[in-house]
Amino acid sequence: MNAPLPDSIRPIRFEDGTLFLLDQRRLPQAQLENAYRGAAEVATAIRDMVVRGAPAIGITAAFGVVLACQEARDQGVPHWRTAVDVALDRLAASRPTAVNLFWALDRMRAVLDRCTGADEAVTASLAAAHRMLADDIEANRRMGAAGAELIESGRAVLTHCNTGSLATGGFGTALGVIRSAWAKGRIQGVFADETRPWLQGARLTAWELVQDGIPVQLLCEGAAASLLRSGKVSWVVVGADRIAANGDTANKIGTYGLAILAREHGVRFMVAAPVSTIDYETPDGAGIPIEMRPPSEVLDLAGQRVAAEGAGGWNPAFDVTPARLIDALVTEHGVVMHPDRQALAALRARIETR
């Protein structure tokens, strides 16, 4: 018998003209919501990783557009669309790798193109953003169910970074698969990489799993090879920030190494992501822009210097896993085994004909 789906966390909400974001920088020590009433503040929140995870970034940016429309209306700006376009550009510049950000902003632009005034823009953009949030949660549940079917009972899974409710509108992508697999009795527990230097695995993934009563054991990335050799893990399950047209996948730094280790040890490798993460305009992984974060994130820990003075830091936020190392891509529109250019083109065609 299946257990109830564990799903207790919602990081994004919009009420009474205000966007509220659970500040992920403060977890797990404190659960604080920040309030935002302006689009510029939202762009800063995305850049500073108050919110992170590709789907959550896109949804947050959509509500940032709503705030921009409200600002134009409340200030009586005569050329409201010009003012909102400035905010759109600022939001687009907040983080370069997550394609969901640009997908969401393109959808919001299309909504605004049909509006003739600021009042109409507020109403229409708010409805579109709420729909985006609800659709994301529903898509994650479908994704979770589909991915869980691939996991055989009896062993654990390994995940990297945070791909749960905190990275989405709710439920999660890769962590949604894990939640569904746990509810169906298909996994014994979860191993989670710390995910340095921001420790999203330690601070966020472990916190989410504890909240939902799913057993989790934390490991530093350097222990992954020994874990995979032990036979305790049947699948590595990760998310994605951008997937190129040939299936090459950008995800949190360290994912590429995990994929290589999984292949070496006969452990299968799953990417769970919504179709909005697929960038058909980028032919392969070489064209995916990789965000470089400040060296201080590597050199310091919680504001305290840990590296020798004079040392530099190399801090890419993401790496690219070649499609040949991916056994399954799980989307809300179905599973693509061994994703490549032809398989992703077929997925696109299937969606467009529905």
Q: Are 279 and 244 in contact (CB under 8 A)?
A: yes
H or E element in which residue 131 lies = helix 118-148
Closest residue by Cα to residue 33 from 181, 166, 226, 215: 166
C-alpha separations of 290 from 13, 45, 93, 98, 238 in Å = 29, 19, 13, 9, 18
Computed on alpha carbons and rounded to an integer, the radius of gyration of the chain in Å comes to 20
User: Residue 223: which residues within 8 A CB-CB, separation 6 or more?
Assistant: none
Helix or strand holding residue 188 (H, E): strand 187-193
Q: Of 23, 241, 248, 279, which is the active-site residue?
A: 241
Neighbours of 339 (CB within 10 A): 24
Number of residues that make up the chain: 354
7 is annotated as an active-site residue: no
* 30 φ/ψ sector (left φ>0, alpha ψ -120 to 50, else beta): beta
Phi, psi of 32 (to 5 degrees): -120, 135
Any idea which residues carry the catalytic annotation? 241
